[in-house]
Amino acid sequence: MPDHAANQLVERRLNIIRVFDAPRRVVFKAWTEPEQLARWWGPRGFTNPLCEVDARPGGAIRIIMRAPDGVSHEMRGAFREVIEPERLVFTHRAIGTRGESLLEGLTTVSFSEQEGKTTMTLDTSAVALLPEANAMLNGMNDGWNQSLERLTMVLGG
């Protein structure tokens, strides 16, 4: 009997709230300046040899993450909304080794400041377009939380 569950495409949604001990303009720039974004994007142990960010509506974002085992993972997307220093909305697609889209999603990041600290709210959703992307989505929560831990370290906290 075939295992149809293994072939079903997965969708994930996350809502993460973090407080950073930094002004929101600083946190916002960590998301929109390529040299800063490259320092924290991705799970622990990953590096970002390519990080391109054109933070304006319609502008592109492209990141190539390199895993500790040397395998590269490409993400491409576009900004739908950029309201400095309050809000970012961008699409994202994980790109496979043959240039195919493995998954696609939408992320909204909001920033508010009180007494020099920034509350960041991240709402993200993604759907697997191919069955091999299901494992990526199953690790989405851990991946985002590890990225945000790295952001905390970059911000000095």
CB 102 within 8 A of CB 132: yes
Please list, in sequence order, all residues whose beta carbon lies within 8 angstroms of the beta carbon of residue 2, skipping any fewer than 6 positions away: none
Per residue in 23-77, pLDDT (tens digit) is 999 999 999 999 999 999 999 999 999 999 999 999 999 999 999 999 999 999 9
Residue 28 to residue 96: CA distance in whole angstroms: 29
Nearest to 69 by CA among 98, 100, 43, 107: 43
DSSP 156: T
Per-residue pLDDT band for 6 (boundaries 50, 70, 90) equals low
Helix or strand or coil: residue 1?
Answer: coil
Query: Is residue 125 predicted with pLDDT exceeding 70?
Result: yes
Q: Specify the range with the lowest mean pLDDT, choosing from 16-25, 79-88, 128-137.
A: 128-137
4-154: CATH topology: Alpha-D-Glucose-1,6-Bisphosphate; Chain A, domain 4 (3.30.530)
